[in-house]
Structures are given as C-alpha cells and as structure tokens.
Structure 1
Amino acid sequence: MREDELVATIVERRTQQSPCVDIVYPQVEGLPNKKVQREINQLIEKQANKLFAGEGCDGVTVTGNYAVKLNQKSLLSIRLEAYLYRQGAAHGMTLANSLTVDLKTGKVYGLKDLFKSNSHYIYKISEMIKAQIKERDLPLLREFNRITDRQDFYLTKDALVIYFQIYDYTPYVVGIPEFVIPLRRVERLAKEDSPIQRLLAR
C-alpha cells in the first residue's frame, strides 16, 4: 500500500473507571510508524476523557461511543460522543468532540489548517450554514453569526461537517446540529496540501 493510501485498523477500547462510567472509544493499529500510532492513540484517549472530565457516580452516569467518519487516503476523522445523566434531571446531556489526523505524520488538523488564510473561509462557510438553518427551519436560541477558526468539525470522504453543541444555538430537542458541506463547494478555499485536496484528488 502506498504511504498516501494508509488505512488504520480500528480496535475498540473501553473506559470503565467506575460502575457509572462506560466509554467506548477507538484505537488504531497497523500503522508502519509505531511512534505516530502511539501518539494518535494517546490523542484519541485524551479526547474521549475530555468528554466526561472525571464525571461519574455521585448521581451521574456517563456512557459514550464513537463513529469513524473517515479512514482512507492516510486520513482518520472520528467523532466521539458522551451522554451524561444526573439523577433527578429532566433529561441527560450529550456532548461531542472530534479528531482529524494524518496517519502518516500524526498531524492534527484544526479547521484553520484546511483553508488558505486569505480565502475568507469563515465568512463563506458561515453563509452556507445560515442557508441550511433557513432551509431546515431550525429553531434558534440566539442568532447565528459566524463560526470560528476553532470550530468543531469532522471530515467524510466527500464532505466537511460542521457541528455545534446542544444549546450553543439550538434547543435540546434539536440534538447536536450538523451542517454537511460538500468538499467541492469549498475546494477553491482549501490549501494545496489540505486534506480536502487529498480527498478530492482521483
């Protein structure tokens, strides 16, 4: 397999620090660079632990799981989710975070790493999200103006997915709102070495 076509083997691990915490998260195996593999696994575990930040018992139960959104062309993008329920509460709370990483180098990508600095990507993606909010008639707790360069996201083979936490902009009933933006729509905004260009290359 060519180095630019690495695919990770995904294995499951489980965090059960107490009877009230049950977090399932992925780890990667089969990468040629074992140092990179170890670093990626440490990052994933850190992200999983951040979701519940020591919560559990004392009236709180935590369950968590994950979804591998992309695992091709030496790119891994995963979304982790935890559900926290406090005894006596009307409902629990779902939290999510994600990680997009290069399987060759271990480089972790933030949103700002995907786009040219002079491309006005924040404004353009924000306008796409505003259009989706209107099209989907999503109820808002406050007006959405723009994303930030630290916005939560993940990648699929053909889309950039921006998401917000519950209550950031929408009520609980909406859940975690996701906005799917086809990669072709942001191709011209992307850096030459961006994962976006790698995924669009045939």
Structure 2
Amino acid sequence: MRKLSMAVLVLFLLTSFGIAEAAGSYWQRMAHGYPNQLVVYEYVYEYVSPELEITARVPQLAGASDVNWQDEFNASIRQEVQDLVASLQEAALESLELEQVFQAFPYVGIMDFEVKLNRGGLLSLAIVTYTFTGGAHGMTYYDYINVDLTTGRRLAFTDLFDTEAEIARAAQVINEKIAQEPEWYFIDQFTPGLIAADQGFFLTESQAVICFGLYELAPYAAGIQEFPVSAP
C-alpha cells in the first residue's frame, strides 16, 4: 500500500511540474495548454555618451519551477546587453580615432522584446536588436528563444517539424508566399535544404512562424521575412 501511495505521489508531482505533458505534442500544448504561471518582466538598461547611445529592454523571468535555471536564463540575457554595449563601445572608439563625427552621429544600440507565447509549459520570445554605426541605415537582428519550461530545454525547428514531410510542408508555405510576390525575393524556389540547423522561428497559439533576417531571402527594404505555418 505504501508503494502504491508513493507511486501516486510521484505521478502527481510529475504532472504538477508539467513533465507528464511531454507525451502530448508541442502543437497541442500551444493551442490548448493553460497559461503559464511564469511571469516575464523587463530589465532596462540605458547608456549615453558623446560617441554611443544604448537603450535596452530585455526579458527576465520569475516564477519558474527551477530557480537555478531561471537565474541562469536571466543572467544570460543581461549578458547579451553587456556584450552589445562592449561591442559598440569598441567600434565607436576605434572610429572616433579616425574621424571626429560622433557629436552629430553617435553609434546607437537598441534592444527590445516581445512575448509571443507563454502557455502550455512553453515560452516563446523574440528579442530584437537594432544598431546604427554610420552609413545609409542601421541593421536589425532578431533572436528567437523557444523554451520547453518543463525541461528547461530550448526547442529547435526540428522539434516541431520532425519529419521530412513536415519540413517539406514548411518549405511549401514559404514557396507560396514567394510566388505571390516574386519581385521581392532573391530566389524563385525555396527548398527544404535551405532551412538552417538553427532556423529562427517563434510560436503562437496556432502557428509556428518561420523567420529570416535582413538580406537572407530578400533585400533590406523587404524587412524581416515571416512565414506562419499552421498545425498539421
């Protein structure tokens, strides 16, 4: 009887922490999962000097079941801000030695984020970084963070598109959009082999949105390219 009670207790604990949900698909959890207790709040950093201006608003987490994982996650995001500051400071100072232009045109770094999904034990974030270091325009970069909160593991594209048929289905969605506006794209045909091992994407309640950065598939003026793929 004691062994049975212990088994029931273990099953209850596993279910409470969401581990038992692993049997369900990510797609089902996206669409039907309950809102997470996890809270996403913002960490704000600002820096201004004659040669550099930084404004950062990045995500921090509270309420995760694994506090150590949460602390490591939060620290890694704050480190990204410091890395951006250090990189632009170095570049700005090197350029300042060459020409005195920064009183009118300081280097600029801006970071911001969006919560795309926070339910079903899944968290999907998009972190956007804009930098201006002179020239005709700045550059915008996106970093997509998709986490299974029940394990702390970051999800890869192949976790949702886990067969050749599913990858081909995703490629077909991209091809359909290219066919609608071919003048905007560098290629006429998108093949499954063009999906990168670290392919960027974010999650919503009903779609996985495949993303490509500036100049990857289209010119700068076309912006970030997003291709929403519905659940199979």
What is the TM-score normalised by the length of structure 1? 0.78
Q: Partners in 1 of 2:182 and 2:171 — Cα distance?
A: 16
Contact 1:101–1:109 (8 Å) recurs in 2: yes
Alignment of 1:110-129 (within 5 A): 110-116=156-162, 118-129=163-174
Give the superposition deviation at 1:55. Answer: 2.1
SS of corresponding position for 2:208 = strand
1:15 aligns with 2:45: yes
Partner in structure 1 of residue 215 of structure 2: 167
SS of corresponding position for 2:214 = coil
Partner in structure 2 of residue 66 of structure 1: 113
Give the superposition deviation at 1:167. Answer: 0.5
Q: Partners in 2 of 1:52 and 1:96 — Cα distance?
A: 17
Partner in structure 2 of residue 181 of structure 1: 229
SS of corresponding position for 1:167 = coil
Kindly provide the amino acid, as one letter, of the partner of residue 69 in structure 1: K
Give the superposition deviation at 1:81. Answer: 0.5
Q: Partners in 2 of 1:65 and 1:96 — Cα distance?
A: 10
Q: Which has the higher helix share?
A: 2
Structure 2, unmatched stretches of 5+, are 1-14, 19-33, 93-105
Alignment of 1:1-202 (within 5 A): 2-4=16-18, 5=34, 6-16=36-46, 19=49, 20-45=53-78, 54-56=87-89, 58=92, 59-87=106-134, 89-116=135-162, 118-137=163-182, 139-143=184-188, 144-145=190-191, 146-183=194-231, 187=232
Quickly say closer, same or farther: Cα 1:62–1:129, change in 2 above 3 A: same
Give the superposition deviation at 1:51. Answer: 6.7
Larger Rg: 2
Contact 1:79–1:96 (8 Å) recurs in 2: yes
Give the superposition deviation at 1:22. Answer: 1.4
SS of corresponding position for 2:184 = coil
SS of corresponding position for 1:120 = helix
Give the superposition deviation at 1:101. Answer: 0.5
Worse overlay, 163-172 or 147-156 = 147-156
Contact 1:122–1:149 (8 Å) recurs in 2: no
SS of corresponding position for 1:166 = coil
Q: CA RMSD in A?
A: 2.6
Contact 2:110–2:131 (8 Å) recurs in 1: yes
Q: Partners in 2 of 1:49 and 1:96 — Cα distance?
A: 17
SS of corresponding position for 2:161 = coil
SS of corresponding position for 1:55 = helix
Q: Partners in 2 of 1:172 and 1:53 — Cα distance?
A: 26
SS of corresponding position for 1:35 = helix
SS of corresponding position for 2:169 = helix
Kindly provide the amino acid, as one letter, of the partner of residue 120 in structure 2: K
SS of corresponding position for 2:150 = coil
Kindly provide the amino acid, as one letter, of the partner of residue 85 in structure 1: F
Structure 1, unmatched stretches of 5+, are 188-202
Q: Percent identity?
A: 27
